[in-house]
Each structure stands twice: as structure tokens, then as C-alpha cells.
Amino acid sequence: MLRRLATLALLTAPAASLAQPARSDWDLARTPGSCMLHAASAQGTVVSVWGFAGQARLGFLIQNRQWDGLREGESYELELGFTGARAWPVQATAKRELDSDGPGYFFTFTPDEGEDGSSFLDSLASARGLNISRDGDSVDSLPLAGSREAVAALATCMSELWTSPSEEIVEKTDPAPPSGPTV
């Protein structure tokens, strides 16, 4: 995983540094032992992507306060259509008691390439937007300007966590990432 994240960071860093500062729909947060990307839509949908030091998989969470009908622990089939990249079918688990962003869908993925040479992380990095569908019906869509730079920032943050034996990793008190379906 570290190799894939580092490669993505190296490939996108020169382009990002030469370009004019662009508007981004993403924010990057760092807590002891983890890094997280966060984007939100005008309709209240929140997308979070995070990694924990030492974990091979990244977490993906889509939340909205209005999704009260989700049943805790139930599996849902979603399609995540990345504007400008391919769509991905995912099996996600409903999580109800998360935080103030509301209930949501959770799954994990690896940054590695699949058998067809594509990866979920590459699609995310190439995305200009996200269309979320469940059972063929649109759930929401949101713009994702600045995805390539955001994923590069996440990769840089994660590589710093993986390569530096800092106190924040040694004294990590974060709970293990939630378990759920994988891509």
C-alpha cells in the first residue's frame, strides 16, 4: 500500500506545484496515527476517506443526516460513479451511530490495482465529482474538485505516518478501524 500511495504522491506533486492554486472540495485532517480526506455536498452528504498507520486498507464512508432508514450492520449495494473516471460497484455496511454527520455507508479498499489494471484510488484521484446510486436510484451527487491533489496530500500524510516512528504512532490510542465490506 505504501508503495502505491508514494507513487501517486510523486506523480501528482510536480503537476500540483506548477499549477495555479485551484479550488478544492476536499479538506485534509491528521490525527494521531491517521489521515483523513473530507468533502461535503450542499445536500448534506459527507464523504470521508482515511487511512491508519500500519493498515493496508483505506476506509471510505458516505454519510447524510437524512438517511435514517439505514439499518445498522445491513449490507447495501452501491455504485459510486466518479465523474471523469470509471464507476465502481461496492458492497457497503450501514453504520447508524457515527457522529454528527449522520448515518452512512462504510467499506474499505486497497490502493492496489485490480486485475484489469485499474484501482479505486486512481478513480478517486481522477474524479471531478461523485454520483452515488443504490439499487439503480440516485442517492446524491457532489462535486470533487481538486481530487488529484487531495489524494496526493493523503498519500503524503500516510507515507509520513508509515515512515516516521514518531510518538503519535508509538503512543497511538485510536481504536482499530471499523470492519466492513471491502472493494
The label of the residue with cell 476506509 reads: 59
Contact (CB, 8 A) for 132 and 80: yes
pLDDT level of residue 173 (50, 70, 90 thresholds): very low
Does pLDDT of 122 surpass 80? yes
> Average of pLDDT values for 114-128?
86
Largest CA distance in the chain: 46
In the chain, the amino acid numbered 166 is S
Separation CA 20–CA 58 (nearest Å) = 29
Does pLDDT of 115 surpass 70? no
Q: For 29-74, what is each residue's pLDDT tens digit?
A: 998 889 999 999 999 999 999 998 888 899 999 999 999 999 999 9
> Average of pLDDT values for 72-81?
96
Which comes out higher in pLDDT, residue 2 or 55? Answer: 55
Q: Where are the alpha helices (DSSP H) in 99-146?
A: 120-126
What pTM was estimated for this model as a whole? 0.78
Residues 6+ positions from 153 with CB-CB distance below 8 Å = 28, 37
Please, what is the average pLDDT of the chain? 82
Give the lowest-confidence range in 10-19, 26-35, 104-113.
10-19
pLDDT level of residue 23 (50, 70, 90 thresholds): confident
Q: Where are the alpha helices (DSSP H) in the chain?
A: 2-18, 120-126, 147-163, 167-170
> Average of pLDDT values for 126-132?
95
Per-residue confidence (pLDDT) for residue 112, from 0 to 100: 83
> Average of pLDDT values for 150-154?
95
Contact (CB, 8 A) for 64 and 105: no
In the chain, the amino acid numbered 146 is G
Residue 154 in grid coordinates: 493523503
Separation CA 104–CA 95 (nearest Å) = 5
Does pLDDT of 114 surpass 60? yes
